[in-house]
Amino acid sequence: MSGIPDNSNAGYVPAPAQENLGIKPLQGVALGETKFGMTPEEDAEYKAFVQSAYDGRLLVGVDRIFARKLYTEISTSEIEEATGEKPRLAKLVVWFAYLASPLAMLITAILAAFSFRWWALVIIPAGFLGWMLNSMTARRGSSSMWFLTLVGIAAVGIHLMRLLADPYLSGFIASFAFALWCDRLLYSASTFFFRAFILRNPRAFLAFGEGVRIREAS
For residues 181 and 115, state if they share a domain: yes
> Is 1 within a domain?
no
pLDDT digits (tens, 9 = 90+) for 138-148: 888 777 788 88
CB atoms within 10 A of CB 128: 14
Instruction: Give 75's strand partners.
Output: none
Return the amino acid letter for 4. Answer: I
In a domain, 5, yes or no: no
The model carries a pTM of 0.78
Instruction: Look at the chain and report how many structural domains it folds into.
Output: 2
Q: Are residues 107 and 160 in the same domain?
A: yes
- Note whether 39 and 111 are same-domain residues: no
Per-residue pLDDT tens digits for 81-112: 999 999 999 999 999 999 999 999 999 999 99
Instruction: Give the span between the Cα atoms of 212 and 218, in whole angstroms.
Output: 18
One domain for residues 82 and 95 = no
Task: Provide the domain limits for residue 176.
Answer: 89-189
